[in-house]
């Protein structure tokens, strides 16, 4: 029988420290104690160092030799503050996070100065705190996303420093009018000292991989198969370098960089001067339309919708909201500065929350032709909103992309005279989230749905890397390319 099986869970490091403390307090050497209990000094040394779990009979013999109750050996607290720090150091160095660093173990014996021991413990505690904070996804990620959305709302989703950086880049390649061409994108890459390489074996977890040593940007040969505009992927990658991004320090920094890189790409594909001129003419004709905005610059509908939110409030005083909603009703992305009330959890996060069934983002999927222009007024507890919605098909299902504005601004948009109108009483659960009483009576206790969990919502942010990216795949990819 061992000590742990007789007394419950015993921490071996603490047990060893107490044994060493009691032995020294009795002025006994290991050799003397080993002779008294009939055990080899090396075996007792392993016990004192927390590396061997002693049998109950051995503990009884040790307690008798030291003249103390066996309970004194098994107490859970450290025998002294110094011993407590040594125990803590031993535990920290046994953690996988420390062992993964490949650093040597530091023994906490009497030869280790007290100030060095204190410093080591402080460093370990901070390392543990940072790793715990990074591993707290999805809470940390959701809070970071909520904070970023608040910052975007405060500035009406308009970033003048990024607009200025994009304008300087366009000027450097002598782009003077209209949408940015593929030739212009190649010129920008060269201007920044990069070459573009389209390859068939890009890691699945990445949109692009940049070899900083050789100034090469690797891209998928058919980017559209990944659901991304190939031009935008290049410009987003270049944006990280133009905007001075470094390895993200935390999830909030990662999200900020992603938003800024996306903004930079859109500001190049839809330059502010030309985009504002186009929108001003459309507003004068009361014919603002995301479809027309998309077609004029040859971008995706979602890019056009995002870009519209950058410019609409700042230049025209039109408050707006944007959301991307899966056909299941789940919010994937959203932004607002017009007071619309998105569903949220207790942290204020909206990602993963179900949208009201009466919102245009949901009703569009029940339309006779959901792929045509769709407009709707929705009366909510916070006011009436007009929305225009576009449905796009992806490998993950269908998504609605919505741009909306308060009732009084609908007059500037094509479709602002629609007669389609719904009423939403959410967050009142009787609006659409609580099933009818007849169905509850019929099925309560007789149904067991198995939820589909979006694993990316649970993914932690590993230190020194990027969420969702397989670092090994990336490094192996670059190694293959370097050998070519």
* pLDDT value at residue 308: 98
* pLDDT value at residue 442: 77
* pLDDT value at residue 439: 76
3-state secondary structure 337-403: CCCCCCCCCCCCCCCCCECCCCCHHHHHHHCCCCCCCEEEEEEECCEEEEEEEEEEEECCEEEEEEE
Q: Which of 99, 119, 108 is nearest to 16 (CA)?
A: 108
Would you say 345 and 142 are in contact if contact means Cβ atoms under 8 Å apart? yes
Angle at 298 between CA 297 and CA 302, to 5 degrees: 95
Q: What burial letters (b/e) apply to 87-109, b meaning 16+ CB within 10 Å?
A: bbbbebbeeeebeeeeeeeeebe
- Compute CA distances 350 → 135, 145, 156, whole Å: 20, 9, 18
Q: Any bridge partners for residue 423, and if so which?
A: 379
Query: pTM of the prediction?
Result: 0.68
Alpha carbon distance 458, 320 (integer Å)? 30
Q: What is the pLDDT along the chain (484 residues), one digit of tens a residue?
A: 555 544 446 788 888 888 888 898 889 998 999 899 898 988 888 888 888 888 888 889 998 998 988 888 888 888 888 888 888 888 888 887 787 778 888 888 788 898 998 999 999 888 887 776 555 556 677 778 888 899 999 999 999 999 999 999 999 888 877 778 888 888 999 989 999 988 888 888 788 888 988 999 998 876 444 445 678 888 998 999 999 998 888 888 888 999 999 999 999 999 999 999 999 999 999 999 999 999 999 999 999 999 999 999 999 999 999 999 999 899 999 999 999 999 887 667 788 888 999 999 999 999 999 889 899 999 999 999 999 999 998 888 899 999 999 999 999 999 999 999 999 999 888 888 777 788 777 777 776 766 555 544 444 444 445 555 666 666 667 677 777 6
Q: Any bridge partners for residue 211, and if so which?
A: 216
**Strand order from edge to edge, sheet including 321-326:** 331-336, 321-326, 397-406, 383-394, 374-380, 421-423
Q: Can you tell me which residue has the tokens 């000292």?
A: 193
Neighbouring C-beta atoms of residue 237, cutoff 10 Å: 21
Helix segments in 28-78, DSSP class H: 30-37, 41-48, 56-66, 70-74
Domains of the chain: 12-102+113-132 (1.10.260.40), 146-269 (1.10.10), 300-434 (3.30.450.20), 438-448+467-483 (no CATH)
* pLDDT value at residue 471: 62
């Amino acid at each position: 029988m061992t000590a742990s099986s007789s007394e419950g869970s015993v921490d071996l490091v603490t047990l060893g420290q107490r044994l060493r403390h009691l032995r020294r307090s009795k002025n006994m050497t290991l050799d003397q104690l080993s002779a008294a209990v009939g055990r080899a000094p090396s075996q007792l040394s392993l016990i004192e160092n927390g590396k061997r779990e002693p049998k109950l009979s051995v503990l009884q013999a040790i307690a008798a030799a030291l003249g103390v109750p066996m309970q004194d050996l098994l107490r859970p607290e450290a025998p002294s503050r110094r011993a407590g720090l040594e125990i803590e150091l031993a535990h920290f160095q046994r953690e996988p996070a420390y062992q993964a660093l490949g650093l040597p173990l530091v023994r906490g014996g009497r030869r280790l100065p007290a100030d060095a021991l204190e410093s080591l413990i402080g460093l370990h505690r901070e390392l543990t705190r940072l790793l715990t904070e990074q591993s707290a996804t999805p809470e940390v990620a959701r809070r970071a996303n909520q904070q970023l959305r608040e910052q975007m709302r405060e500035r009406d989703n308009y970033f003048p420093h990024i607009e200025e950086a994009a304008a300087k880049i366009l000027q450097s390649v002598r782009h003077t009018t209209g949408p940015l061409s593929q030739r212009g994108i190649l010129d920008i890459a060269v201007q920044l000292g990069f070459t573009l390489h389209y390859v068939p074996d890009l890691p699945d977890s990445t949109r692009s991989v940049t070899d900083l040593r050789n100034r090469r940007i690797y891209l998928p040969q058919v980017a559209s198969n990944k659901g991304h505009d190939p031009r935008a992927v290049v410009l987003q990658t270049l944006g990280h370098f133009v905007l001075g991004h470094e390895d993200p320090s935390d999830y909030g920094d990662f999200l900020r960089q992603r938003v800024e890189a996306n903004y930079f790409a859109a500001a190049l594909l839809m330059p502010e001067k030309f985009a504002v001129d186009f929108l001003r003419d459309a507003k004068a004709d009361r014919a603002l339309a995301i479809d027309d905005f998309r077609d004029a610059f040859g971008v995706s509908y979602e890019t056009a919708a995002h870009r519209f939110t950058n410019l609409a409030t700042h230049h025209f005083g039109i408050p707006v909201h944007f959301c991307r909603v899966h056909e299941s009703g789940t919010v994937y992305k959203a932004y607002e500065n017009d007071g619309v009330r998105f569903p949220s959890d207790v942290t204020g996060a909206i990602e993963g929350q179900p949208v009201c069934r009466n919102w245009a983002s949901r009703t569009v999927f029940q339309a006779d032709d959901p792929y045509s222009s769709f407009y709707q007024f929705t009366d909510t507890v916070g006011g009436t909103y007009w929305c225009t919605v576009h449905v796009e098909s992806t490998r993950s299902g269908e998504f609605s992309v919505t741009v909306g504005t308060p009732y009084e601004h609908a007059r500037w948009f094509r479709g602002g005279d629609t007669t389609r109108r719904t009423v939403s009483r959410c967050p009142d659960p009787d609006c659409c989230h609580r099933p009818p009483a007849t169905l509850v009576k019929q099925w309560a206790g007789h149904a067991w749905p198995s939820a589909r969990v979006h694993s990316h919502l649970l993914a932690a942010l590993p230190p020194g890397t990027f969420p969702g990216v397989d670092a090994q795949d990336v490094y192996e990819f670059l190694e293959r390319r370097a050998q070519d």
